[in-house]
Structure 1
Amino acid sequence: MTPIEVGITGLGALVLVICLHVPVGIAMAVVGAGGFLVLTGSWSGMFSLFGTETVSMLTNQEFSVVMTFLLMGGFAGIAGLSGDIYKLANVWIGHYRGGLAMATIAGCGGFGAISGSSIATTATMTRIAMPEMEKRNYLLSLCSGTLAAGGTLGSLIPPSIIMVIYAVQVEQFVIDMFLAAVMPGLLSIFLFFIAIRVYLMMNPSAAEISPRAEWAERLKVTRKSWGASAIIIVVMGGIYSGIFTVNEGAAVGLVMTLAFAYMRGALKGQAFWATIYESAGSIALLYLIMLGANIFTYFMTLSHMPQEIVEWVKSFDIPPMAIILMLVAMYVVLGAVFDALAGMVLTLPFVFPLVTGLGFDPIWWGIINVMVIEIGMITPPVGINVFVLKSLRPEIPLSTIYKGVLPFLIANIVALFLVLFFPEIALWLPNALR
């Protein structure tokens, strides 16, 4: 068999193994190692591949920031900083029609800037915001749709764990990814606000108008939420200004959130160790996925399959943007039936060389990738954020959640197309600060 034939066979074997419900990380590692053995005939090389790639992953300083951000998000949650962000948004914009839902979106964006995780943002904000919206007689569909969609901002608002993984995999600067995500993140929040207002124009009885907070209450809540604001300003301001590296900024944020949790008495009992155990489990799963992805990528590179795909696509003389649109459609379908992060890591060996070979900016494509992942997180039949919310509120039917998600899904698609056709939305900030 030629190397290309081995690569195609390996890809088919990977799909088959995943369909047998083997975890994605293990499937990629086994198929990648098997393909390496077929191409080289070296048993010792195959076994050493596991050792070298594991050491490479565990000693990669850029990827170690993921663990720090996960811990920071965990301690921020138990310290109540997410509640502070939500209350701050609520006292300033909660009195508008749909203001509580908009405050929830703003709260999700703020907590996403601390946690870096979509799932953590959805789970945390559901516990905080859902009871408040129910008190104001918000329809369950609007409540659940706001929270499931708002949680996706944890992936887009920097710092984002998915962005770190993408940057490490394709050897781009993490800071450039964070800078490129600022405007698309703000754009998504703005479009979510519009989606809420349009929804309430069509369904005026879906939410009550909250009373306007007094200035004394606004100032009181603003002062109380200084901790969350300080963490965001110090961490992201320090990273963007060059005072901190990304690792140093994450470490500073972790110390700050740990200090706030301690001062607020949130580390009593098993809270500290529970946060450590939960973060350790998440990081172990991510490391397994990344290890498998690295081994599979090595096999794909050895087979020359990515280069052949690039040349094959170019031979059809299709406009580059048409190819990008086809890739976006592929990711939306993939995200609807497959874990979004695993789908990104799995396809990067083929898609990234194709996109850069067509002359597109890798940072811009990274933002597009994250935005498509956002869509996959709330798209049926999987939509991981929907199931996170469902697990916390099992009495809410899935049909109700998906009905509420629809306006935000449309807003996400509009944001995606704006960044697709106007790349400077993502690129002007990193270009300006280089």
Structure 2
Amino acid sequence: MDSTIVGLLGMLIFLVMLFLGMPVSFAMLLSGFWGLWYLRSADAAFNLVCKDIFIQFSAYSLTVVPMFVFMGFVAYHSGIGAGLFKLSYRAIGHFRGGLALAAQVACAIFGAICGSLAASVATIGTIAYPEMKKFNYADSLSSASIAAGASIGSLIPPSVLFIIYGISAEQSIGRLFLAGVFPGILLTLANMVVIYILCRRNPQLGPAAGKRSSLKEIVATLNEGLIEVIIVFVVSLGGLFIGWFSPTEAGAVGALALLIVTAVQKKMDWPKLKASLLDTTKLSAMIFLLIAGATVFGHFFALSRIPANLATWVTMFNLPNFVVIMLIILIYFLLGMFIDSLS
């Protein structure tokens, strides 16, 4: 059988396992192993899979992942997200759609110390959604604003997606972090503009919630989350951007700084620390398995010559660069309907 046909069959097997509910990492591992077995031999497939898993799990570059993930879960379990939402609510909650606007701001600020999208949704969503229900916000606006706001964390450093992309594509993680700051702020503002316009046109979507807070009340909530974020962002990512730390060191310094700050403020205790460590272990293991599976599947794909044939096909049609970019975005858009962004 032609190697390209084998590659397409491997992709079909991967998609079938995916839709049957198998985790993405195991689906890639199994379909990649089958393809390597078919194109080479059972011994070659076993050896290559074992080698790929060992290399990925022992790679120093991946030590950056648990550090930033741990920092995010410490922020989640210490209740910083609740303080950020309270601050945002007091500042802009009196506008129509103010709670949805506050969720955008809280998600953006929380994203500056939390690289996990799931942690952002859990933190801000569990606080903001009940408040929106209390003030009779439309479910469509409530759920959409929280989901859209949490996704901003994928752009604002430290983002786990940037870390994984930087490792996979051999790009500078520090530069990726720096490149995500402005788009993250821009997307936050764009979301807020859309929410404001929708609520102005249809006030029933997001009624005004409460009265305007005084400047004194707003300032009084600064120490409930914002100060911690500023300290950690300056110490960790500031040192990374200046060149004092490597990405791994920046994550470790940021996690230590956040632990110290939350412990001093009595927001962190042993049960919360234990939960943070457990969640970090689970998510980090999932990420490592995902990278190992992608490596095995990538080797199979390379042997099938699908990437080379696809490049030849695109070159043959002489497509403009923007069309190629739009096709890539379309693929991401379609895949994003079925699997999470990290996968």
Fold-level match, TM-score > 0.5?
yes
Partner of 1:379: none
Instruction: Tell me how far 1:189 sits from its aligned partner.
Output: 0.5
Q: 2:93 touches 2:208 (CA, 8 Å); kept in 1?
A: no
Q: 1:78 touches 1:261 (CA, 8 Å); kept in 2?
A: no
SS state at 2:342 partner: helix
C-alpha separation in 2, matches of 1:208 and 1:15: 45
Residues 305 and 142 (structure 1), Cα distance of their counterparts in 2 relative to 1, 3 Å cut: closer
With normalisation by structure 1, the TM-score equals 0.73
Instruction: Tell me how far 1:105 sits from its aligned partner.
Output: 0.6
Indicate whether 1:256 and 2:257 are aligned: yes
C-alpha separation in 2, matches of 1:338 and 1:313: 26
Partner of 1:17: 17
Partner of 2:291: 290
Residues 139 and 23 (structure 1), Cα distance of their counterparts in 2 relative to 1, 3 Å cut: closer
Q: 1:93 touches 1:103 (CA, 8 Å); kept in 2?
A: yes
The residue identity in structure 2 corresponding to 1:7 is G
Structure 2: gaps (5+ residues): none
Q: 1:79 touches 1:264 (CA, 8 Å); kept in 2?
A: no
The residue identity in structure 1 corresponding to 2:128 is A
Residues 135 and 232 (structure 1), Cα distance of their counterparts in 2 relative to 1, 3 Å cut: farther
C-alpha separation in 2, matches of 1:223 and 1:262: 14
Partner of 2:231: 230
Instruction: Tell me how far 1:42 sits from its aligned partner.
Output: 5.6
User: Number of paired residues?
Assistant: 341
SS state at 1:186 partner: helix
The residue identity in structure 1 corresponding to 2:33 is A
Residues 76 and 153 (structure 1), Cα distance of their counterparts in 2 relative to 1, 3 Å cut: same
Instruction: Tell me how far 1:208 sits from its aligned partner.
Output: 1.4
Indicate whether 1:63 and 2:62 are aligned: yes
Partner of 1:98: 97
Q: 1:158 touches 1:181 (CA, 8 Å); kept in 2?
A: yes
Instruction: Tell me how far 1:82 sits from its aligned partner.
Output: 1.5
SS state at 1:157 partner: coil
Instruction: Tell me how far 1:267 sits from its aligned partner.
Output: 4.0
Partner of 2:5: 5
Indicate whether 1:128 and 2:91 are aligned: no
SS state at 1:37 partner: helix
Instruction: Tell me how far 1:135 sits from its aligned partner.
Output: 4.5
Partner of 2:282: 281
Aligned pairs (5 A) from 1:98-247: 98-205=97-204, 206-224=206-224, 225-247=226-248
Instruction: Tell me how far 1:262 sits from its aligned partner.
Output: 2.4
Structure 1: gaps (5+ residues): 343-434
Residues 11 and 209 (structure 1), Cα distance of their counterparts in 2 relative to 1, 3 Å cut: closer
Paired-residue identity, %: 32
The residue identity in structure 2 corresponding to 1:170 is A
* Per-residue Cα deviation, 1:167-197 (whole angstroms, up to 9, x for no partner): 2111111112112211211111011111111
C-alpha separation in 2, matches of 1:208 and 1:267: 34
Partner of 1:346: none
C-alpha separation in 1, matches of 2:156 and 2:181: 7
With normalisation by structure 2, the TM-score equals 0.91
C-alpha separation in 2, matches of 1:267 and 1:300: 46
Of residues 97-106 and 308-317 in structure 1, the stretch that sits farther from structure 2 once superposed is 97-106
Instruction: Tell me how far 1:32 sits from its aligned partner.
Output: 1.4
C-alpha separation in 1, matches of 2:188 and 2:246: 27
The residue identity in structure 2 corresponding to 1:210 is G
Partner of 2:88: 89
C-alpha separation in 1, matches of 2:253 and 2:270: 25
Of residues 4-13 and 147-156 in structure 1, the stretch that sits farther from structure 2 once superposed is 4-13
* Per-residue Cα deviation, 1:69-96 (whole angstroms, up to 9, x for no partner): 1111111122222223223333333344
C-alpha separation in 2, matches of 1:15 and 1:223: 48
* Per-residue Cα deviation, 1:40-84 (whole angstroms, up to 9, x for no partner): 3360x3222233212221222332222111111111122222223
The residue identity in structure 2 corresponding to 1:337 is F
Instruction: Tell me how far 1:261 sits from its aligned partner.
Output: 3.3
Of residues 207-216 and 302-311 in structure 1, the stretch that sits farther from structure 2 once superposed is 207-216
Give the alignment's Cα RMSD to 1 decimal: 2.2
SS state at 1:318 partner: coil
C-alpha separation in 1, matches of 2:149 and 2:132: 14
Instruction: Tell me how far 1:134 sits from its aligned partner.
Output: 4.1
Residues 99 and 54 (structure 1), Cα distance of their counterparts in 2 relative to 1, 3 Å cut: same
Q: 1:105 touches 1:146 (CA, 8 Å); kept in 2?
A: yes
Instruction: Tell me how far 1:329 sits from its aligned partner.
Output: 2.1
Q: 1:71 touches 1:254 (CA, 8 Å); kept in 2?
A: yes
